[in-house]
Structure 1
């Protein structure tokens, strides 16, 4: 994955995709008005490793004093559902609302946004269907799709915050994400963006009840990890995969349901069955590898009933489960 693609995916989702937080400024910034770019440089929000996406009109040419940031011109909108972003002559990113994405033909890379109450309800319904029945949204397991702003939707993205990504709207207000809360205006806030942990998850564009519904589902972090595992499997040609803990177990005697131990750990290995092929996905690194049925059974027991698991399987799980505060994938 090239660096610019990492920046784009990171900005959309709030996951780092291997990007390190810069010592100064934000890693990625999207501006709706090119006139804000010089102001960002003056405010200290642009660092030597910042990538700035700004509208094509008025965005080319002049150097930014003290901030040798990469600058990428775009056409279209990163925000509006139904819109398209064009970067250069060959790359196009669709932007769609969650509740209608399943009814559309996705023609390439697509950012799915939760923009209103209907979108939130559709997202939660899909998550419930997955955890209860093992039924997965075809759109959300598509490798070309990225779900935007995952921390607001219960996803695990510990580096999400103003040092990872920022958005500056046409009103010149600075936000973590387009639909997030306002952090201030360009030039008077965030001269030294604080640690991501100080900000916590961004807000949802919905009712207080739905915000509470997300918070009351601690297994959503595991759901997001499983979606990424399924996307990786589909990218390798494995369709109709089953995921341990979501409507099934490879060992039918192990407990199921949102209260199962592995459903509360977004960094635990995700175990998949694709016919007679078995895969293990490591959320901490994004790594995937193929294994055999016996190993999957042993790993499943280690994840669900660690007190009774084989020592070898436990060592495997511990090896590939990184501390949450150190993981940015």
Structure 2
């Protein structure tokens, strides 16, 4: 909640689900009283000072956790000293975000600031999927009582309108309004529509951020700046949820994108998985019967040709590999690598 907001009005609005957490200035939390919040596990209220509205703001939580806030345009110049949130605050920031994404795709050159483990890019889901309904699970209440789904979001209505009216206002829109007050909706949509791989980019950003403490930022990601295997589509054609392949310090790693679990692979296994991931969406079962296997787009045929095995051996090896990674059926429960 923005400083000056009325916690009591939020409590009485019906917006808070069991276990909800309210971040608000201490005076308002005390005025509302924790007993008025819904019953459920986890913290019910966190006292905060400061704000997150403007670049350079600082939010202090519970008196001892300091979070700095900066605009995206400041990212190349940041000296990160602790938890930092980077926000898109206008069209220029949005354009800079897209430029960084395009550079990563084209050249494999990434924004180093976004790989810092203490830096979090706000509203990333909105940036890559502006047409997706964000729901009311995360809300921001302004000082004058307007409810938004993000700090830079479009006003849905006053908190006193209640949960049902606010949900109706959200449903009346055509997607995620979390950046609606800082970037025009048509600009957001156009940026994402022209880059269907942005979801993949978002996953890659998170993988790089998680790898940075151990491996640094010299991380190659398959589909960004090229592939590990020649002859594959240079740019991502996989879905955002498909396993990510990275090379770091001579090691090949497969990363499950639903839980970011890492598996170390040999080069042959990495190439096999890359071939099936990159060609799986376009493979045709009939392609294996083509007399010109060199031009086939069937994943098994391509793997067989490049890895010196038969089509059936390639399929069997891929099935065994995906099972070991927990990609076929239920997620794996072991803790070892592959």
Alpha-carbon separation, structure 1, partners of 2:64 and 2:252? 36
Alpha-carbon separation, structure 1, partners of 2:328 and 2:251? 23
Alpha-carbon separation, structure 2, partners of 1:121 and 1:321? 38
Task: Deviation per CA, 1:131-174: give whole Å up to 9, x if none.
Answer: 01100000011111111112221159978320x20110012000
Q: Tell me what 1:296 maps to.
A: 270
Change over 3 Å in CA distance of 1:214–1:35 after alignment to 2: closer
Q: Which has the higher contact order (CA 8 A, sep 6+)?
A: 1
Alpha-carbon separation, structure 1, partners of 2:55 and 2:329? 35
Q: Tell me what 2:333 maps to.
A: none
Task: Deviation per CA, 1:75-125: give whole Å up to 9, x if none.
Answer: 111222111111124311111100112112011111110001110111010
Candidates 238, 245, 253, aligned match of 2:223: 245
Matched, 1:261 2:234: no
Alpha-carbon separation, structure 2, partners of 1:96 and 1:76? 14
Q: Give me the CA root mean square deviation.
A: 2.8
1:156-305 paired onto structure 2 within 5 Å: 160-162=134-136, 164-191=137-164, 194=167, 198=171, 200-202=175-177, 203-204=179-180, 205-207=182-184, 208-209=186-187, 211-257=189-235, 260-262=236-238, 265-305=239-279
Candidates 316, 320, 328, aligned match of 2:327: 320
Alpha-carbon separation, structure 1, partners of 2:75 and 2:209? 16
Q: CA deviation at 1:271?
A: 0.6
Alpha-carbon separation, structure 1, partners of 2:130 and 2:115? 17
Alpha-carbon separation, structure 2, partners of 1:41 and 1:125? 41
Helix, strand or coil at the partner of 2:115 = coil
Task: Deviation per CA, 1:189-235: give whole Å up to 9, x if none.
Answer: 3248759x946322452344454122321111111011011111113
Q: CA deviation at 1:181?
A: 1.3
Report the TM-score, using the length of structure 1 for normalisation: 0.79
Change over 3 Å in CA distance of 1:104–1:63 after alignment to 2: closer
Matched, 1:87 2:75: no
Change over 3 Å in CA distance of 1:216–1:34 after alignment to 2: same
Say which is worse superposed, 31-40 or 56-65, in terms of deviation: 56-65
Candidates 15, 20, 41, aligned match of 2:11: 41
Alpha-carbon separation, structure 2, partners of 1:214 and 1:156? 7
Change over 3 Å in CA distance of 1:159–1:182 after alignment to 2: closer
Q: Tell me what 1:13 maps to.
A: none
Q: Tell me what 1:56 maps to.
A: 26
User: In the alignment, is the contact (CA less than 8 A) between 2:130 and 2:176 conserved in 1?
Assistant: no
Q: Tell me what 2:310 maps to.
A: none
Helix, strand or coil at the partner of 1:146 = strand
Change over 3 Å in CA distance of 1:84–1:66 after alignment to 2: closer
Helix, strand or coil at the partner of 1:223 = helix
Question: As a proportion of its length, which structure holds more helix?
Answer: 2
Alpha-carbon separation, structure 1, partners of 2:190 and 2:130? 17
**How many residues matched?**
287
Q: Tell me what 1:135 maps to.
A: 109
